Amino acid sequence: MMMKTKTNLLQGLNIYLVGLMGVGKTAVGKEIAQQLNYRFFDTDDLIIRVEGKAITDIFAQKGETYFRELETKVLQELSVCTRSVIATGGGIIMKKENWSFLQQGLVVWLDAKTDLIMERLAEDNTRPLLKTENPKQTLDDLWWKRRSRYAQSDLQISIERSQSPSEIASEVLMQIPEVIKQASDQ
Ligand SMILES: Nc1ncnc2c1ncn2[C@@H]1O[C@H](COP(=O)(O)OP(=O)(O)O)[C@@H](O)[C@H]1O
Ligand SMILES: O=C(O)C1=C[C@@H](OP(=O)(O)O)[C@@H](O)[C@H](O)C1
Ligand SMILES: [Mg+2]
């Protein structure tokens, strides 16, 4: 009953998840989609499917600029969907053009301490930008470089270590009515 009310409140509006790599956009996005009975998309997954290659291979063989072009194309194509949760790649917020698509939906920033993110990505090899001598420093630098863009989101959710993806999803959904109310008051 409660979820139905939230779905009605959204009126088919898409939810875009933004935030640093490893913060949980993909994991939490799937949960939000399930709780709302929305479809789920992940821009990285679509890029992998379009190219038939892993993200690290795209970066290594074609470069980041090529990846960013694909990312914008995928985001544009997704913007015609409704009733969808879209987990984006961590760098999507840096291009102004991408905001013209993101702003068509509700943008949710998942934020966490970089220590927690590093723990979760300790065994991960799929983030080419973190293949540096000091990945923690790289992640901190990215956070500082990007945070003003992330802050343009409609909603910021601070993630604690103890919260499961499903708990974070519930928190996002709990905060949505307030965000929609603020937008309609403006
Ligand atoms: N709330 C959470 N609790 C425990 N592990 C998590 C949580 N959120 C994400 N993870 C794990 O952390 C890693 C990165 O999550 P992911 O959803 O891929 O992040 P992103 O899409 O933001 O890069 C994955 O291994 C995922 O299973
Ligand atoms: O932060 C970034 O620039 C990137 C984040 C990745 O996605 P996740 O945020 O899902 O890890 C992926 O798009 C690519 O490796 C670049
Ligand atoms: Mg992801």
- Indicate the pLDDT class of residue 6, thresholds 50, 70 and 90: low
163 labeled part of a ligand binding site:
yes
* DSSP label of 85: E
The answer as to whether 141 is a domain residue is yes
The mean per-residue pLDDT over the stretch 74-95 comes to 98
Q: Which atom of ligand 2 is nearest to the CA of 64?
A: 16
Residue bearing the bigger pLDDT, 5 or 75 = 75
Residue 18 domain-assigned (yes or no)? yes
Q: How remote is the CA of residue 185 from the centroid of ligand 3, in Å?
A: 33
Residue 164 has φ and ψ, to the nearest 5°, of -80, 160
Angle at 86 between CA 85 and CA 88, to 5 degrees: 155
Most distant CA pair in the chain, distance: 50
Helix or strand holding residue 108 (H, E): strand 106-111
Q: Is 91 in the pocket of ligand 2 (CB under 6 A)?
A: yes
Whether residue 105 lies inside any domain: the answer is yes
pLDDT band at residue 1 under the 50/70/90 scheme: very low
Six-digit token pair at 110?
């998942």
Task: Look up residue 98 and give its two tokens.
Answer: 């991408």
**171 assigned to some structural domain:** no
Residue 82 lies in a domain: yes
Average pLDDT, the chain: 95
> What is the number of domains present in the chain?
1
Separation of alpha carbons 124 and 22, rounded Å? 9
Average pLDDT over residues 157-165: 98
* pLDDT score at 162: 98
Q: What is the pLDDT of residues 94-117, one digit of tens each?
A: 999 999 999 999 999 999 999 999
Q: Which ligand 2 atom sits nearest the alpha carbon of residue 25? A: 10
* In-domain check, residue 147: yes
Question: Helices 55-62 and 43-51, interaxial angle, to 10°?
Answer: 60
Question: pTM of the full predicted structure?
Answer: 0.96
164 lines ligand 1 (CB under 6 A): yes
Distance of CA 104 to the CA centre of its chain: 15
Written in H, E and C, the secondary structure of 27-58 is: HHHHHHHHHHCCEEEEHHHHHHHHHCCCHHHH
89 lines ligand 1 (CB under 6 A): no
Domain of 62, in residue numbers: 13-157
- 8 A C-beta contact, residue 164 and residue 32: no
Tokens of 157: 């959710």
What pLDDT band is residue 182 in, cutting at 50, 70 and 90?
confident
Is residue 169 in some structural domain? Answer: no
**Closest approach atom of ligand 2 to CA 47:** 13
Looking at residues 165-171, what average pLDDT do you find? 98
Nearest residue by C-alpha to atom 4 in ligand 1:
164
Ligand 1 atom showing the smallest separation from residue 21 Cα: 23
Predicted pLDDT of residue 168: 98
| Residue 19 maps to a domain | yes
Nearest CA to ligand 2 atom 15: 127
- pLDDT tens profile 123-132: 999 999 999 9
The confidence score (pLDDT) of residue 4 equals 58
Query: Which SS3 state, helix, strand or coil, does residue 134 take?
Result: coil
Percent of the chain with pLDDT over 70: 96
Cβ atoms of 72 and 97 within 8 Å: the answer is yes
Q: Give distance in angstroms: CA of 180 to centre of ligand 1.
A: 27
Provide the CATH number for the domain around residue 116: 3.40.50.300
pLDDT tens for 16-54 read 999 999 999 999 999 999 999 999 999 999 999 999 999
Q: Is the CB of 24 under 6 A from ligand 1?
A: yes
